[in-house]
Chain A
Amino acid sequence: MSQTNAREAYAGSDAFVRERVTQISQLLQLVDNEKLVPGEVTHNPRTLLQRLPRHMRRRAMNKNFKRFPRRLHTTAKSFITTPYKKKPPSRFARRRTRCRLMAYFRRRKCSHWLETHVWHAKRFRMTERWGYKLPLKSFQHAFRPIHRASLRSCCIRDMSYLSVFAIRCSSQETILKKINALSLSNSGLKFSHNKAGLHELSILLYDPELKPQGFIGPARFSWIRLGSQHCLILWIHPATHKEILKHLIAIFELKPENQQDEETKQTDSKKIGIQKQSTVKYTGSDGVEVEDLRNQLSRFRLFGPRSLETIQKVFKLVDLDPQDSSSKLIKENWEKISRKEPLIDGSFFSFPVQDVRLNMYSKKTHSSPNSDLEEKDFVGKTKVIPSLFNNVDRIAAIKKRVTTASFDSERKNFIFNNVAAKVDNQIPIQVITRSKGTGCFQSLDGAEVVAPSEFAMDIWMAFQYHACAASSLHDHEAAHLESSSFLFPTDVPDCRAGDQEFKRIADELEERELARPFNKRIPYWSRFSIRFPFTFEWNLLAQEWGAQEDSYVLRDRSSLVALENWFVGRVAQFPIDLKDTSTLVPVKIRMLAGGVPKRFSILCIPNEDDLKSFGKNPRTKIEQPRSGQMEVDEKMDVADEKVEDSEERLIGFDSFADVISLDPVGPSVKISIAAMFPKCQIVEKSMKRKLLNAKKKAAAKRRKTEAGLRAARAQKEDEEKVKAGYRTSANREICGRVVRGDFTFTESRGVGIGFLPIGSLAVIPKYKNKRVVLVRNTSSKFYRLATISILQTSTEI
């Protein structure tokens, strides 16, 4: 560029102003004249607020002119242009019953709340599962106090999320003929068992067309009589509700009824409890009626040796007519549960009881064997005994319920007998015993109480007053591990509900992992050779062990017994019936010398050298080499590792500069004292901006290059993973995975439950007459020794 051109590019400021002096003076006269406040525009601050000295300024002056000094009110009024917003309604107004009720309904739209939701939400972390808001983890207790309570006294869990169907027909055979299609012989009980209706039993439900693969889920059933009709009560898990309903509709050729109960229509629409009493009914071709009683019955499960005692303390029988035969039976049953004799698993008893609020204590007390309460004769003698599954009886009982407000107001006036006289309704409840028998750990033993959901909160509070520790989903999971049983659907792989649960957990874990900075993520593949850290991929594993089709869990009782006999060495020959190689065998692992298996841990087959080293020292840790692949040469590995390490360090400080270094030593870099104390540096504003911009540019550039590098690395990893396969992806051959594992208080060691493809059983070696495997967690490089045995416990809800 020439000099002339360069001069033309700049305008001289002196000459520019000189030419425009007149224009500037005219402009100044307009904005800074005598009429205006002197220097308002050109020198002083513009707004009225800014003109006030600092000590006179108040918050919200620009919103409310009354905040200004009184002498400036009139001036300020014209200055404030923003209209004053209306004050929001007061907290008192916002928390009126109607508003709270509306807010409550709004929140309930997303997922259903249990009756005890508000009580739980104050004390537990809540989570959404299977369309319900459920307590996940207590803020106050860990599992251990719950475990102790289940061993010595009693703890309680709200299981009201379980769904229930009532299938009615005048002929029991009509129901049995069709519904038996849902059960599978040899994998558990059938509906034809217990026709007399003495017990509530557990059953496994299958898709009628896909047996034995199409497992739906476990259920509990009992037969009762409702007048002249036989009624099958089927309790199921909410995750399987849709699927089972679909099958029931297909089996019984059901059509939905649109009519509502008359009682429901007449009731006050504001009452939440009555609103829910609209039952969905279906009628079938053979006179079969199916009622969906979901959310209408609450089910509380009590764990511990004092469960039945606590139930007796909480509930009081209504005074029954001594001459009536059914009353005699009820009294006999009530005495039966009060005896110390153990009852058969699933025995159920129906009782009409008084309102539980009458028996509530003023102080929390543990139920003890010697402290009997005085029985007070508040209520008149009853003749008609209500049934829990009869809609008319249930709604009549709900209608008679005295509200908590009126109950409390009466109680406040010390007119207790008046309260008792008013509370003359009887609550129909059902008590079910649960027992696994001796020889197993009894963390799941106890009893269950079923009552209309309208009374759920009263009953729950009564149990709390009797010092029943409330437990949550986490405790439920831990209790299942203590008793070595799979929890449905979290631990069950071959059903739709289980698949959905596995996917949810995998998504959650993956999201949590991706939220971490790049260098703080666990290098599952590059460091630990774990191909699937958040999923199990049972089908792929089974295929690599010889399966032809999709895998499913072996639940055939006779096959499991035969397999167990062969596995422990009672029988020499492998059971011939088990030709299907796509089955997964449920197993239990017990750590031999330290270590705690966790969910997703891999089960591997030890080689001879491993067993020898374990023979010398059972606490030996076998390490997974860093390269991730099968062991090649130790020396080579060490050399490679050194090179890799030095390369990683360099990369860490050059191209990965935005990540936080985890290297405690790092390469030696000269740091100037001035750089260490930036406050001492005198940097001009413009310089600061420049430095900042340069930094930003460099970061953007680095991000771009890093993204490419990471993508390339990820692609390389994916290729490696595919090449390595699943079975041979780690240092030792993978033969199975752990679905639930932790340290158990019962066995004082790490215990896990999981599955193995049936093809892998034959290669599991023996060590000191026990079958052993190596267990490694997904974020650990050490293999540990564990014994393995076949589990025969069936899945229950």
Chain B
Amino acid sequence: MTGRFDPAKQSVKKRPPTKVSARNQFYVKKKTCLAQQTKRIEELLQKEFDEVYVHGLGASLNKALTLVLELQRRSNGTLMADIQTSTVNVTDDIYSLSDEAEAGERSRPLSAVHVKLYIGVR
């Protein structure tokens, strides 16, 4: 199913995108607190990992990049970043609430950014 849906006749439930669950994988959302996330990543880089991955999807793409820049600024040049962009397909389930409307799935492509942050010297 493609195109717009009628909110009066259909209800939509957005499935969350697939994630890799690991301690050094960070997914930035619109509600993510940047200050807290920066602290957490810094702590991880100092104690446990040499590299962390920051992912941003759709509207939170900007926010993910801001986070990366902030981390680099605070690291005094010891933190390197490799950036990769991609397109992620997300699925929405559409339920019809009347006999006229259709039910089904809707696939949406969303731009994504994946940043690998690692300790190194330029």
Chain A residues with CB under 8 Å of chain B are 185-190, 192-193, 201, 340-342, 344-345, 369, 435-439, 557-558, 561-562
Q: Which residue of A lies closest to B29 (CB)?
A: A438
Given contacts A193-B103, A369-B21, A557 and B93 within 8 Å (CB-CB): no
Q: Which residue of A lies closest to B11 (CB)?
A: A557
Q: Which B1-52 residues have C-beta < 8 A from chain A?
A: 7-9, 11-16, 18-19, 21
Q: Which residue of A lies closest to B7 (CB)?
A: A561
Q: Which residue of B lies closest to A187 (CB)?
A: B97
Name the one of A190, A192, A437 contacting B93, with C-beta atoms under 8 angstroms: A437
Docked CA distance A186–B18 (Å): 33
Q: Which residue of B lies closest to A562 (CB)?
A: B8
Task: Determine the chain A residues whose CB is within 8 A of the CB of B82 once the complex forms.
Answer: none
Is the pair B96, A193 in contact by a Cβ cutoff of 8 Å? Answer: yes
Docked CA distance A345–B105 (Å): 12
Q: Which residue of B lies closest to A185 (CB)?
A: B98
Q: Which residue of B lies closest to A560 (CB)?
A: B8
Q: Which residue of B lies closest to A559 (CB)?
A: B8
For residue A483, give the distance in angstroms from its CB to the closest CB of chain B.
13
Docked CA distance A193–B96 (Å): 8
Task: Determine the chain A residues whose CB is within 8 A of the CB of B18 once the complex forms.
Answer: 340-342
For residue B14, give the distance in angstroms from its CB to the closest CB of chain A.
4
Is the pair B15, A340 in contact by a Cβ cutoff of 8 Å? Answer: no
Is the pair B8, A437 in contact by a Cβ cutoff of 8 Å? Answer: no
Is the pair B93, A340 in contact by a Cβ cutoff of 8 Å? Answer: no
Decide if B95 is an interface residue (CB 8 Å cutoff): yes
Name the one of B19, B93, B99 contacting A344, with C-beta atoms under 8 angstroms: B93
Is the pair A557, B15 in contact by a Cβ cutoff of 8 Å? Answer: no
Docked CA distance A344–B7 (Å): 19
Is the pair A558, B15 in contact by a Cβ cutoff of 8 Å? Answer: no
Would you give the 0/1 interface string for B44-87, flagging 1 where the beta carbon is closer than 8 Å to chain A? 00000000000000000000000000000000000000000000
Given contacts A193-B103, A342-B16, A344-B15, 4 further A-B contacts (CB under 8 A): A186-B98, A437-B16, A438-B14, A557-B8
Is the pair A437, B13 in contact by a Cβ cutoff of 8 Å? Answer: yes
Name the one of A190, A201, A438, A562 contacting B15, with C-beta atoms under 8 angstroms: A438
Is the pair A435, B97 in contact by a Cβ cutoff of 8 Å? Answer: no
Docked CA distance A439–B58 (Å): 14
Task: Determine the chain A residues whose CB is within 8 A of the CB of B98 once the complex forms.
Answer: 185-186
Of B18, B92, B98, chain A has the most CB atoms within 10 Å of the CB of B98
Docked CA distance A201–B9 (Å): 16
Docked CA distance A189–B99 (Å): 9
Given contacts A341-B18, A344-B15, A558 and B95 within 8 Å (CB-CB): no
21 contacts between A and B (CB under 8 A): A185-B99, A186-B98, A187-B97, A188-B97, A192-B99, A193-B103, A201-B95, A340-B19, A341-B18, A342-B16, A345-B13, A345-B93, A435-B13, A435-B15, A437-B12, A437-B13, A437-B92, A438-B15, A558-B9, A561-B7, A561-B8
Docked CA distance A561–B98 (Å): 14
Is the pair B8, A438 in contact by a Cβ cutoff of 8 Å? Answer: no
**CB-based closest 10 A-B pairs:** A437-B13, A558-B8, A438-B14, A561-B8, A342-B15, A437-B14, A557-B97, A438-B16, A344-B93, A561-B7
Of A341, A369, A562, chain B has the most CB atoms within 10 Å of the CB of A341
Docked CA distance A701–B8 (Å): 68
Task: Determine the chain A residues whose CB is within 8 A of the CB of B14 once the complex forms.
Answer: 437-439
